[in-house]
A and B are shown apart, each in its own frame.
Chain A
Amino acid sequence: MRVSRVLLVAVAAGGVLALALGGEALAGREPTRTVAAPWAVAGPGLPLGADVLGRDVLARVLAGGRDLTLGALAAAGAASSLGVAGGLWAGWSRGRAARAARALSDLLLVLPLLLVAMLAVVTVPGPAAVIAGTVFGGAPLTLRVMADATAQARHTGYVEAALSRGERGLSVLFREVLPAHAGLVGADLGQRMVLAVQLSAALNVLGFGPPPPEADWAAMLRENLPGIGLNPAAVLAPAAALALLAGSVAGLSHILAGRS
């Protein structure tokens, strides 16, 4: 019963991701072309009305998630794999370097990652800043969770049995510890993904995202906020898209975390 629930949420989250990535193909109209008056309300052929420059809101919502999602996936993947690798090492090794890594990650943990990304955006483009912020702010969290899990696993019967049959550290980590914590790793990846989506939305809304004619959910929010009285859909649709993306990934992560 619980497996089917995971499957259900996983399929839903996968669907949302697929839509965010490939939605542009369904748009049927160029997201950058002016087709109506600014903030025109919904009508035939314009199910969600028009935006600040009279462009089709639906087409822009369908197209506006791709770069953000791709960037978030890359950032989450980088942060999570770095953190998992570091955590396995820091939890397994009892050396001074491992302790120092844990202390450093504890310190990095408290740095607000939006500020880290704001700093990074001074010198690198937006997507790279999202990755930098997610890695700096997210990898330490992963490292800590994974290091604790690994340190605990060291004293379990299955790890001691593996050591007692002469398996090497790396083999124990990848054959025993990592599979036993697959749910934890999946949940963690999801959480980093949510972080990256939030970060990217924040940076894009502040104007550090893709340049203007491009469609982007967060940028759409800012562009259309002044017209919320005229066409609320121009604001609510991208907001809902962002919420759906982050929410479905968070839901999947939450269920995975509960199972591990």
Chain B
Amino acid sequence: MSGLAVSGLTVVGPAGAAVVRDLDLSTARGEVLALVGPSGTGKTTVLRAVLDVLPPGLTRIAGRVEWDGAELRATRRWRRRHVGYLGQDPSSALHPLLTARAAVLEPLRVLGRSRAVRRARAEQALADVGLDPEELGERLPHQLSGGQAQRVALARALAADPDLLVLDEPTSALDPEALETAVALIRRRRAEGRSATLIVSHDGSVVAGLADRVVRLGMPPAAAPPAAPRAATRARTAGPVLAVGGLGLDRPDGAPLLDDAGLAIAPGEFVAVLGPSGCGKSTLLRALAGLHPVRAGTATLLGEPLRWPVRGRSVPALRALSLVGQDPLAALNPARPVSAALRRPLRLLRGLSRREAAAEADRLLAAVGLPADTARRYPSALSGGQRQRVALARALAAGPALLLADEITAALDAGTAERVLDLLDLLRQKEELAVLAVTHDKTVAARADRVLRIGRSMTDDRR
């Protein structure tokens, strides 16, 4: 048959345990195949096994990968000639010393046409993804915005009109505008009927409309009702939890990021912050947490004026604001067990005794849906999703009035993300926890009471 055919694919890990077992999949030219499943079900492993680039430790012990009816031999050459690939982090996949045009020209070498023809194709590829080759062609990646860099990578993947296009997690790899461009281009390829497309995603909703066929990996985990942590006593005020006015922020290199921004968050309110990548969403949260210098602006927290640098803040202010970051790998100290990470804020900020702190730590773990024996474990023994939940438990330990959440569900599979968001909903109702969440996940934004959009200033979509 034409296109890609995989049969009986089995991949084992270092201990011999099967990561992927006896998987069949195929996609003909003119088709779009989606491989969907929660994180940790081996989607990326399947993709790497198909491309024959398994990382050390993983071995393909059985299975056949065929292209246009023949078993693949020289896979590197096959990838170079027939595959267009867009990875999970496209902007960091660009060579820092190659201009946008040079990056797009690279896959065109295999065409062997004249320089002028290749150059014209590269310009066309850049234009197809909505970039002006005149303006941006000679820029190096560090002179491009995050979204532009993503588009350059997309243009590079599509430039040679590859027979097989492979997209790894495009919904989290691309910002919404770039994703829209990608979807339109994939539709066009499908209509032309010459080439096949393979999409891997944990987000079934986006790919469902695009794919001719969907292969699902793994079972969704059974949802357990989360138990709420015991209410931490806290002074309540009638007004907003946090009110900020005239906020001005700069990038670390001094370029202005935000001017005269304002926001107010009521108790129990869920506010989502949206905006293109690189617009300063994360910086806004870190500034509110006192971890990024603020150029101008004032803030009131629970009716008291809030000092910007975290060092100048009082204990009640420290308790009231909690930040959860986006990188689950660096969220926890590798040298300390989970229990230490949870007890420290309990003892320091809530003044609990050693025994009280231990009991409260267990409750917090249960609240984020982790078994009690997690407390004794070290971060290296936890998965990304588990670490993120520990980080959330640590943020909730102080009994905050406002949770600053930076892409907290980006590293989680759909089932776990759902549970974490349910837990936040519960805390919002029971304890009037307010949440300010930076996200580009539409399911998160859908739960919010309000959405803030960030450009150079901030706009507020009231619902």
Interface of A with B (CB < 8 Å)? 155-158, 160-168, 176, 179-180, 182
Contact = CB atoms under 8 A, between A and B. Distances in A.
Contacts of B310: 163-164, 166
A229 B322 CA distance: 75
Contacts of A182: 335
5 shortest interchain CB distances as A-B pairs? A157-B331, A179-B335, A156-B330, A158-B333, A157-B325
Nearest to A182: B335
B28 to A, nearest CB: 45
Interface of A is mostly: helix
**Which of under 10, 10 to 19, 20 to 34, or 35 or more describes the interface residues of B?**
20 to 34
Contacts of B335: 179-180, 182
Given A157-B330, A157-B391, A158-B332, A164 B290 contact: yes
Contacts of B331: 156-158, 161
B313 interface: yes
B345 interface: yes
Contacts of A157: 324-325, 327-328, 330-332, 391
Given A176-B333, A179-B333, A182-B335, A160 B341 contact: no
Contacts of A163: 290-291, 310-311
Select the residue from B323, B335, B336 with max chain A CB neighbours within 10 A.
B335
A233 B348 CA distance: 64
Interface string B282-323: 000010011100000000000000000011010100100111
A164 B348 contact: no
A166 B336 contact: no
Contacts of B395: 161
A166 B349 contact: yes
B64 to A, nearest CB: 33
Nearest to B289: A164
B239 interface: no
Given A165-B349, A166-B318, A179-B333, A158 B344 contact: no
Contacts of B290: 163-164
A162 B336 CA distance: 13
Nearest to A152: B330
B334 interface: yes
21 contacts: A155-B330, A156-B330, A157-B324, A157-B328, A157-B330, A157-B332, A158-B332, A160-B289, A160-B323, A161-B331, A164-B289, A164-B321, A165-B345, A165-B398, A166-B310, A166-B313, A166-B349, A179-B333, A179-B335, A180-B334, A182-B335
B389 interface: no
Contacts of A158: 330-333, 336, 341
A161 B394 contact: yes
B132 to A, nearest CB: 34
Nearest to A169: B311
A166 B348 CA distance: 8
A162 B291 CA distance: 11
Select the residue from B323, B330, B348 with max chain A CB neighbours within 10 A.
B330
A165 B332 contact: no
Interface of B: 286, 289-291, 310-311, 313, 315, 318, 321-325, 327-328, 330-336, 341, 344-345, 348-349, 391, 394-395, 398
A164 B322 contact: yes
Nearest to A168: B311
Nearest to A176: B333
A166 B341 CA distance: 14
Nearest to A158: B333
A164 B311 CA distance: 8
A176 B318 CA distance: 19
Given A157-B325, A157-B327, A164 B334 contact: no
B348 A165 contact: yes
Contacts of B323: 160-161, 164
A230 to B, nearest CB: 51
Given A161-B323, A161-B331, A166-B315, 7 more contacts: A155-B330, A157-B325, A157-B328, A164-B289, A164-B291, A167-B348, A176-B333
Select the residue from A156, A162, A166 with max chain B CB neighbours within 10 A.
A166
Contacts of A167: 348
Nearest to B397: A165
Given A157-B331, A179-B335, A182-B335, A165 B318 contact: yes
A166 B391 CA distance: 17
A180 B341 CA distance: 13
A54 to B, nearest CB: 55
A26 to B, nearest CB: 39
A156 B327 CA distance: 8
B145 to A, nearest CB: 21
A164 B391 CA distance: 13
B398 A180 contact: no
Select the residue from B290, B315, B331, B334 with max chain A CB neighbours within 10 A.
B334
Nearest to A166: B318
Contacts of B333: 158, 176, 179-180
Nearest to B400: A164
Contacts of B332: 157-158
Nearest to A154: B291
Contacts of A180: 333-335
